[in-house]
Structure 1
């Protein structure tokens, strides 16, 4: 699998293109991501949102229309795609497929696994493709997503971190901001964050 990344916008939100078996998956197309994505895909098959915050979904609609592919968004964050209290000029988008909970999708033999980890926001999820986990704003290198935003929940984040601790495999984590890390590495810090919330 090949993974391309480009930080987008003032928050340097990582937009990813994961290419596996000749299929390009676009993950979290943020502010002004459209041209970079179009220049770096040859067979785009889906747009995947880890969650609905504006800096991760800004270019959803533009890419849906220009590439003619479907948008997949976690259920809890669908309302955020059309109503951002932070960014009233957010281009609204409508998912073609609403992902519910821990759901596995199959794209002609390529498995895409969503895992629901609410706390940062109601729909916050990770996306696993091959040996990669795209963690959005759930977990970062030595950090976790903020829980002081509208619709955030420290209680849900604690439960999500407990769930994260139970994962019995390792993958490289590609977060929504910053550097890559691994599941096993961040599991070492989970108790610290649970106790800090």
Structure 2
């Protein structure tokens, strides 16, 4: 059995998730200050997974990896974002393992599958686990990720929203910010978002 813990971290209240399992835990998106949350709730971190490379999601990558001797996995097209020291985080591109679209990672029987949904960032991904998508900054409750940042791309976001129409309706969405929701509740809004992006 497992349980999923969450705590908003840092200036942008970025959700850090811990998938707790008796044989070891998986951390998803350790933002600024996440290390203390993780140490309070875990004694054995097997791996760190990044949904994408924005600084508020990867800030404590290196600290967590060093504390627990854990492996770090990042979408391949966002690894370059892990080496920019401008924001003040410890670069972690040197320890990141590149993950491809649809790549499966298995830790003690727990399977995590990366699904590429570019637009917010080049490598922006959702991570499938059991009946959950950790949606990062692609999908939120009644909203989607911004496509006007550096390295964002509106055309990619449109294509990703079209692709997302094939997501499993009964899955939960655990986003990078805000409250959890369900795919079935967000799909009806995809076409409106697509039209809005095209008009911008």
- SS for the counterpart of 1:188 is helix
Give the Å deviation of 1:130.
1.2
Q: CA RMSD in A?
A: 1.3
The alpha-carbon distance between structure 1 residues 22 and 185, as it changes in their structure 2 partners (threshold 3 A), is farther
Range moving further from structure 2, 155-164 or 182-191 = 182-191
- Please give the alpha-carbon distance, in whole angstroms, between the structure 2 residues aligned to 1:77 and 1:168: 25
The alpha-carbon distance between structure 1 residues 111 and 21, as it changes in their structure 2 partners (threshold 3 A), is farther
Preserved CA contact (<8 Å) 1:118 1:157: yes
* 2:121 is the alignment partner of 1:137: no
Structure 1-normalised TM-score?
Answer: 0.94
* 2:25 is the alignment partner of 1:62: no
What does residue 34 of structure 1 align with?
A: 35
Preserved CA contact (<8 Å) 1:21 1:110: no
The alpha-carbon distance between structure 1 residues 99 and 196, as it changes in their structure 2 partners (threshold 3 A), is same
The alpha-carbon distance between structure 1 residues 96 and 78, as it changes in their structure 2 partners (threshold 3 A), is closer
- SS for the counterpart of 1:14 is strand
What does residue 9 of structure 2 align with?
A: 8
Unaligned 5+ segments in structure 2 are none
Give the Å deviation of 1:175.
0.3
What does residue 128 of structure 1 align with?
A: 128
Size of the alignment, in residue pairs? 195
- SS for the counterpart of 1:45 is strand
